[in-house]
Structure 1
Amino acid sequence: MSRRLAGYAAEIERYLQGALIMQREDLDEDKLAAGARREVGAFQSLKGDEGTAAGASHRRSTLSGGPRAAAPVHSAKPASAPIMVYTATLAGFQPEEEEDWKRRGGGGRGERGGRGAGRQAGAGRPARAAYQARAVAARAGYAAGAQPAVFKVMPNPPSTKEAASRLLNYIGRREDEKGEKHDIEIFDEDGQVLATGAARKAFLETFCETFEPPLENTNFIEVGFELAGDVTEPDLSEALNRAFGSKPFVYARDSRIVEVYAHTDERAGPLAKVLAGGRENSRSKALDKIEARLCETMAASGVAATAEVTAAVGHERKAKYFLQKFIRAHRQVRHANGEPVRGMKNPAKAAASVYEQWRPQLSGRERRNAYHLLFSARAGTDSNAVMAAARAVLEERAPGYKFVLAHHKDTKHVHIHAMVQARSADGERLKFYKPDLVAWRETFAEKARENGIAMVATRRMDHAMTRPFTKEHAGAYSRAKRDPRYQVSAKTIERVEAKRQRRIDQQALVVNGDAIATAWQKTVTAMRAVGVVGQALTAAESIGNTIRQLQRHRAVEGPARPAAQRGADQLAQMSFLSHLGMRELNALIGDLDMAQTPLEMRRQMARVNQAFDNMRETLPPAQQAPFEQYREEVNDKMHDRLARLQFERQQQRRGGGSGGEPIPERERRGRDLPARDDPRQPETPRAGAGQTKAKHDADKQKTREAEELNRKTQRSNENDYER
């Protein structure tokens, strides 16, 4: 069944081969819908003539310059049928929520707070409508034969000049049929060909001007140990060195109590937050993991002890200050080798001396100074058009950044590689978080369509495909096939083969099958509304129906599997997902993306948790435990989203931003729920020293109220499917 779904695109593309003249213009967010509406007339003409001899004759006369019904246009760039389906669906789609909103007055008096509150409540509706329209149009274009856009950020970051040089050689050198490497054409941001070694060297010099040195790791923790028995000083020193490895540290002992101040690779900022807010109020297990690891390592050295992390600091100035406090608080402090610290009568001087001894041992963290990007298209696609689209994407999404482009012709697919600066000459940093990747992929599809390539920005969940495999997975899989002695896990083999064979993700099908089928049904409705008929509409209907049938089939047969099988266990744990209340809950979770202020986010969190409470009352006891775990995971993400919104609001009030980025763009990025380990998690800014005591007490009260509200609302889980 999955192979039939995989063959839809090729069959539809062959059936709908044909072209009409399309007006060429700059298509940005605002002009896209307007341009699409101008295409509806031409598309209706194409649709009306589809499948008839008269229609074929009409299309031939249109392409040959003969008379035609559509209005004349002024560009020589043809638009394929999938592009016409995409633009027509984009122009004609209107979400049900938007229609109801307009019938009620379209932003008049709100439910609460009068007219101003109504405007605020509807502020995010146009953005959400545009997002839904693009998603529906992309599915329609995919059903009509358009290829999905493929954009990747490769995992090998050139953080130094040497790494950038190696990457430039990789991009600009390929092997010929004889296996000999030779230079290929690479183009810089000005469109100039870097043909000679001297030209490439000169480009690299200017390219690396914005590179930044590595960051010094200044994370430190203070740990208290309670020894279970008598331990000699040499044995204690050996156990501590084994526990902290090569990290520098000092320690002080008072009978069976040992205090240690040590360098660590852990991020001290989140640890300090947990300690400040109380470990009982945090869901983080980072401290528990550190303590368990230290106790286990010391036990392996023959020293039984319990460990407790009591402090964490992540700034050099604070690290020196806490080291000074540590020396002042103990009568005798020893180095890692057991020798006493000298000059303890002057703690400040002693701390400075110890820190300078440690500095050469403090490991650094490499900055991301450049990115290696990949733009890909199906085999047979015009490589010049893909190159032009990739260049247009970089010019729009990364203006002011130096980059190079090259086409690698030694693969079946069309691969355009790029190396781009991570920081421009003005100091602006280029970042690729999840919302940015989505935006880059949409821009790539848009520029490809402008260059005559039928391409849309779909998501993996649109057709329930399996997860992509990494470069490491592919390398291990290929080596295992060449060399029987090389062992590779069954999970790696399954992941690579499932993706190459375009298998459907069974777990995603069981969990999100209804949502996927509903999305395709909305796509079919939008296509009918603009007059799409024929194989494109049939394919969209078939995909939705097949997804729903497969989902029901898997949901029925899952419990009958042996208990030892993982699929049956997952299905048993997720059985509550088939509850009728999940539809309402999923809709509320989808609305979280539109919250743009902390207040809106808290209200949405309250609605989500109210839906959780209503659903919990109707579940059988056997499903309560997995349901509560799901609720905890779901709410976990929403707390991170709230924290980011609070951070962005504080930045907006201060009139600043990260790297000079406009406030609306930051808010747009923040609408996607972040992963729990997202590096953008903000740290709460420290209050200024000049605050009065009254204001300080008021801030503490607000913090306590916010924490209490956060604990009540829990946290939220990002739904993998778009809504």
Structure 2
Amino acid sequence: MEFFLGAFSAEWEQRKAALLHDRSLGRRKPIDEEEWRHRSAGFAAGGVASGGGSLAKTGISRRSAGVLGGDVRRADTERPMRTRFEALASGSQPAVVKMASFGGGSRLGAMVNYVSRNGEVVVENERGERLRGRDELAAVGADWDHLMKNRAESRDIGSFRIEAFFVQESDLDLLARSVVKRGFADRSFAYAVTPRADGNGIDIEGLVVLRSPKDGERLTGDDKASRLVQARFQQGDRDGVEARFRLTGYGNGVDYGTSRLRALVDKHGGAVRDEQGRGISNARQAGDLVQQEWRDKLHSRKPRDVMHLIMSARAGTAVAAFESAARGFLAAEFSGHHYVFAVHDPANDPKAEHSGGKRPHVHAHAIVVMRSDAGDRIETTIPAFRQWRVTMAEKARDHGINMEMTDRRERASAPAFGKNQVRPINSTGRTEHEGTSEAAERRYLAKRSDERSFAHTHASKAYTVLAKQEWRSLAGGAGHETVATFAVAQILRLETDGERPNAQEAFASASKNSSSQSRINLVQLDHLVSEGDDMRHMTRPEFEAYEKRVEMALFRADRTTPPSERADFEEIAAAAREHVNVRRELVALVEQRDRDEATERHEEGHPRPNDIQGTAQERDDSLERWNDAVSRHGLATVKAANQILVEIERAREAIERVEAGKVGGQDVRALKVELDLELGKAAELGAAGNTLIREVAEVDDELRRTLIAVERERLERERGRSEGREVLRSNERNGSEELEERGAPRGSNAAGHSQTDIRSNDNAQSDGREPSGERASGGAPRTDLAKQQVPRLEFLQREADERERDQDDRER
């Protein structure tokens, strides 16, 4: 076959096409052979030093050293072990880069919305462009679409329905289980039984793992699979039972299976059993069955078009510096790939803490396309993860953050737990989890309590020996007591019980006095004290709980502070207690203010029971409603809506006071004009897409009617009905001339007439009647009167303002 390189416009396309053509003919360039030989030699020689095959010692990056053999990036930037250990002992934080998940093109929109907090957090792409809002973020999917393979997910779990007919049977569960087994053979399943009303059979519905553990056959979960299962049942021994099988759906992964099985349990009141006859009576048992027993049988596959990456730093890290470090890390590691990232700062995170937002430490989320425009894919291997941490630490140091790459074998740290091994139970502060199984719970507790865990492979044991030697060297040659103490604590961690009989006791003793633990406790203390910055929203019980947390943090820091830092700690503790005392006085002042306000309202004829508790409770309820609205609609939406809604409520209260005779000297008609103006503003905002305004309109009749009128007007405008617009202008002119002919005053009377027109027309609409004057001369339809009044109200308001200015001039 003749090959034309001129068909490709870019140089890299020509080189890649030529190389692939040569390989298809069995040829291979010498440079490729040399590259693979060097790569293999590097892996063989770099076992211990690089953690069992790191690219750090080979000098070749797998991602960059692709099939073209060019642009090989050196990965030897990892600092010496001694240098890293000394920095960690001096207070540097470990580099944290986590690969959270993969996703296909269909999940890209949801992942970007999560990272951007539904468009409220600024997102930056690989070109440095800052994106905000749903419209700009929606363009990301279109830009990346050519890189999305959009491979279908595997069909792991299917839902089924079976109609079984028989003459008589005493044990319906046993019969149902045998029927399902004949159709699905050795597959795992769960089912529920419902006797038929006519008494001649049962209906069975449930879930089944589509892949067979015996031969690997995977049912497709559609009509074709239904016919296959039906044929198998027909061929077997049916024992006088007739059954019709039908697979009704399918899904991917344990999340799908868990949700569907829990729904089945709820539907049948806990009367669900598995293939072994064990009962599944609640949601927890349903989740345990899918996650613990079915997971390994699924052999689930998902598309990996994009990956979700998380970079974290300790609490108190400078946000701007960390953002710059994350930007540099992504540019260095994923050059040539498309990505977006956003920084979540606890001070500016729009997501509520109880919903999983406002984490106590700054962190960044990145969505990275797995395949570059050149066709290279990102490798997600252990050596690649190590190199990511090296680069992240390097970029952090470039921006003034003390950070180092760490390896859990250097401290005998426990292995991390996966997201599928735990479920969150409390998101206040640091998220608390519980294990999805006993083994997962043990793994979670081991990581949270920082238990020791030793590696078992030969290469990892050799790496641990090397790390122990470096810690010993640092402990003996350290010029600072803090560094030496930290190094000794790490040596004790790395010593097994066989090497030292009392290693566990010595390690526990050293951990209590380690400088690292002391620094951690001081950071937690600083975070707790900072909580008091918003103390005006705290009630007395909340403040007392806050005070107890600060005292507990002081107690922990006191136990772990080294003798050399005792004086500094006492100064910090005194400042923290003084801070708490000041906040205690602030809470007392707020309570006194609430008492005074309650007394004033009581004297004005508005008694309020339980003045102090009632005021605090109302403030708490208001704050809770505000936070709930922000979490559902977004801060910008709530602020814009709240400003107008407050004005509407103020106008309504003023009208009520005047009509009740409690306040004199004000014109009710002018107040009603003002109310209608505010309602018009709110309706315009709601028609523009403000979801909070639309939610309030569902329970506010006046606002709902105004909103309907504004939306009708917008619809007319969008349809381009020139005739309707001409009629509207004619009506406005006729209305103005009519007012002049009647000689109506230019102030409140005209406003009152306008208000009466609006309300009478609204009442006619609510009764289903056609308003008067709906048809103009010639049969042309007139627009809704409420729509006509919105611009007229503004005109009348301007006239009222002019009249007031004229009156002021006359008085002067």
TM-score when normalising by structure 1: 0.37
Which structure has the higher relative contact order (CA within 8 Å, separation 6+)?
Answer: 1
Higher-Rg member (1/2):
2
